Structure 1
Amino acid sequence: MQVQGDDSSDGRVRVGDAAARLAQDTAQLVRHEILAAQSEVRAALRRIGAGGALLGAAGVCGVLALWSAHETALRALESKLPGPRASALLGCVYVAGAVALGAAARDRVRAGVHASADALDQADEALMGGPDVPGRDGGPG
């Protein structure tokens, strides 16, 4: 026996309609958010591309500046030494500079590797519990 206003099938339909509307609204919101994220990513990529082009142009200008400085130094040396000796001397200066900079870079990289390894060890001890954690290695706990 049904009481007036107690139409359970009508209630199910209303709940089903509300769920369908909620699903549609959620899907529309997700689509909107995805489109917004795509737009932001495209804009960021355009900025990155422009920055990369500018960085490349700056690199070309830097190489040209170094070449100009090299030519100036070579001409200055050639006024004091014969051409081949001036070139050899300048080449030796470049080699010495490359060796010194390479050694300094090697030392920096090694220091960075050791520092990151130490940081990982400390993080591992903090997460897994080191000897000073109560209950580990027979300590109180």
Structure 2
Amino acid sequence: MRTPGDGTSSGAGRVGDAAARLGQDAAELARREVRAMQGDLVAGLREFGAGGALLGGAGVCGLLALWAAHETALRALETVMPRGRAAAVLTCVYGTGAAVLALAARDRVSAATEAAADALDKQADTLDATTAAPDGTTGA
């Protein structure tokens, strides 16, 4: 029989201290790794932010170019017809263009949806065929 204080507690204390040190070391290592990943992430976000700002600037320049093209077309039409009629003609041209592009986009989206549905059906048929039991019943 052992009595309290016969030396076994010092061994358990050393194991407990080692476990505590191991836990602290693991936590410190995890903190270092998180800090390193955080630094990499922040650097990546800065690059992304700079790219986003450049893309935004490109969008503004593109919008200004479209506005200038509109003004040029309006001024050219004003040489052959009154100002109000020239604006109406451009409005009709823009509206027609928007309608044609919207219809084309609708057709593309519809075709893509049908293609995705067909692909999913084909995949489901393939999975059904591979999971069929030898007697012809499904494996479910």
Displacement of 1:67 in angstroms is 0.7
Equivalent residue of 1:130, what SS?
Answer: helix
Do the aligned partners of residues 17 and 133 (structure 1) sit closer, same or farther apart at CA in structure 2, a change above 3 Å counting? same
Give the residue type in structure 2 aligned to 1:93: V
Determine the structure 2 residue equivalent to 1:104: 104
With the length of structure 2 as denominator, give the TM-score of the two structures: 0.76
Displacement of 1:8 in angstroms is 4.3
With the length of structure 1 as denominator, give the TM-score of the two structures: 0.76
Contact 2:128 2:138 in 1 (8 A): no
1:73 aligns with 2:73: yes
Displacement of 1:93 in angstroms is 1.1
Q: Percent identity over the alignment?
A: 57
Determine the structure 2 residue equivalent to 1:57: 57
Determine the structure 2 residue equivalent to 1:135: 133
- Quick one: distance in 2 between partners of 1:81 and 1:35? 68
Give the residue type in structure 2 aligned to 1:87: A
Long gaps (5+) in structure 2: none
- Quick one: distance in 2 between partners of 1:32 and 1:57? 38
Long gaps (5+) in structure 1: none
The alignment's C-alpha RMSD in Å is: 2.9
- Quick one: distance in 2 between partners of 1:100 and 1:52? 30
1:82 aligns with 2:82: yes
Contact 1:74 1:86 in 2 (8 A): yes
Do the aligned partners of residues 140 and 24 (structure 1) sit closer, same or farther apart at CA in structure 2, a change above 3 Å counting? closer
Displacement of 1:25 in angstroms is 0.9
- After superposition, what is the alpha-carbon deviation per residue over 1:12-70, rounded to whole angstroms, capped at 9, x for unaligned? 33322221221111100111111122222222222222222222221111111001101
Count how many residue pairs are aligned between Structure 1 and Structure 2.
Answer: 135
Contact 1:131 1:137 in 2 (8 A): no
Give the residue type in structure 2 aligned to 1:138: G
- Quick one: distance in 2 between partners of 1:26 and 1:125? 50
